[in-house]
Structure 1
Amino acid sequence: MDLYITDPDFTERFEYFAFTEVPGEKNQQLDEKTRCMAILAALMGCGSVDAYKEMLPKFLENGITPMIAKEIVYQAVGYLGYGRMLPFLNITNEVLEKKGVKLPLDSQAVTTLDNRLEKGIEAQVEIFGEQMKEAFKTSHINRWLAANCFGDYYTRNGLTLGERELITFCFLMAQGDCEPQLIAHSKGNMNMGNDRDFLIKVVSQCLPYIGYPRSLNAISCINKAVEK
């Protein structure tokens, strides 16, 4: 359905805000690749299947490669779960195939089933500090977190650890009710060089897609991470 026909007043104002005012806001701008990555992750986080399907083809022409798109979707499974991630994987495959991209893409995996825990712990330590060396021993969930979320996905080629922390921040910010994790990953972002000002820019660029309440909550979590 063409919203220009059915809802012209709304469409005029939303598109001006989302595509002109927000990207052009002084001191809140991001490079196009980073902005697109953040928005795609935020759309997944809030379960916005239709908007993701609308935006992905445009972003594939503005700094997002097929590999980057796939890596964002793969990493989402640890933060959204397979049930919420699968529609986005299917849409991504459909969009890429329509663009003539041959699937599967080249593998970006670097761990094996034998070393995924070890490599996942190494990634956790690099992001969060030495205290993570023993965290996996505290419960089976924390062992899975190290081996699966970090060992299976964070270790993959294609995105830097800083970029992976960025998209995790966006997953958490957009889905809401994840304040403890959002504070922790705000700190993880800062450890990776994504400072407070950068994260505020990320929130600002995602605001049209996730709304004001979750954006303001995210800013509060960023500030709490700074205080800690």
Structure 2
Amino acid sequence: MKKVIIALAMVFGLSPDINASEEQKDSLALTLRQQKLVVISSITAKGNLDGLKPALDAALTSGLTVNEIKEAIVQLYAYCGFPRSIRGLQTLMGVLEERKARGITDKQGPVAKPINSGRSKYDRGKAILEKLTGVPETGPKTGYAAFAPEIEIFLKEHLFADIFERDVLTYAERELVTVSVLASIGGVAPMLRSHLNICLNVGLSSGKLQQFVEIIRQSTGTKEADEAQHVLNEVLKSKK
């Protein structure tokens, strides 16, 4: 454990205090499951199916359940489209068959519980978005929401109610999936900035987000990681 803490500290420019509390140590690194979600999401978003197969195999071996991986890949379609998401799911199906042929029985894990609520999907999605951002949704619509009200409704009702309200993954895990996709596809810095802010709001530390960038560098590429690092630097600077 001490070697891990020292290595992470060197990577992120932190003081390698081997006597730090468990809470401090945890703030330095993503959990193994979180790391695997970043890798799977970024590779799927790029459409690198050859790279996705070993990544999925490693994720299953590390303890992620089939349903957790399915949730992550399904969520991807909201950010990088149905074709990438479906190809990711098809690749997962193939990996599971190969592992079954090798005598491996993968844990399915819990499925999402039904949502029983008398509130409309729009109101539920709005409440979830407010919780994620920490900012109340009040006042008149502006920007794209005013220009195209339909997409604002889809965002609340579908993305944040239909998807984020599902309980197989936590909000922090879903945000890691989201920023992994946004960093990998590129050209969406404002959205990446918004979701990195949400990551901080749902409990992901700056150290963990620095590690997220390094995982993007290894799984997706230097260009994508450099752009993500630039956006992250801006977000962290704004918090000082």
Q: Shorter-normalised TM-score: what interval?
A: 0.7 to 0.9
Check conservation: 1:120, 1:147, Cα contact below 8 A. Answer: yes
**Among 111, 115, 123, which residue is 1:118 paired with?**
123
Cα separation, partners in 2 of 1:180 and 1:109, compared to 1, 3 Å: farther
Q: What pairs with 1:58-207 in structure 2 (closer than 5 Å)?
A: 58-100=58-100, 107-111=111-115, 115-132=120-137, 138=146, 139-207=149-217
Cα separation, partners in 2 of 1:94 and 1:118, compared to 1, 3 Å: farther
Report how far residue 93 of structure 1 moved.
2.5
For the aligned residue pairs, the C-alpha RMSD in angstroms reads 2.9
Report how far residue 30 of structure 1 moved.
3.3
Aligned equivalents of 2:116, 2:58: Cα separation in 1: 35
- The equivalent residue for 2:220 is 210
Aligned equivalents of 2:84, 2:226: Cα separation in 1: 24
C-alpha offsets along residues 185-228 of structure 1, whole Å, 9 cap, x if unaligned? 01010111112221011111231121111101101111222234
Report how far residue 180 of structure 1 moved.
0.7
Aligned equivalents of 2:114, 2:191: Cα separation in 1: 26
| TM-score under structure 2 length normalisation | 0.76
C-alpha offsets along residues 108-133 of structure 1, whole Å, 9 cap, x if unaligned? 15437973322211110101133335
Check conservation: 1:45, 1:173, Cα contact below 8 A. Answer: no
- The equivalent residue for 2:21 is none
Aligned residue type for 2:8: K
- The equivalent residue for 1:219 is 229
Report how far residue 25 of structure 1 moved.
4.3
Extract unaligned runs of 5+ from structure 1. Answer: 1-23
| TM-score under structure 1 length normalisation | 0.80
Extract unaligned runs of 5+ from structure 2. Answer: 1-5, 12-28
Aligned equivalents of 1:52, 1:133: Cα separation in 2: 41
The count of residues paired between Structure 1 and Structure 2 equals 207
Aligned equivalents of 2:121, 2:113: Cα separation in 1: 10
Aligned residue type for 1:126: K
Identity between Structure 1 and Structure 2 (%): 22
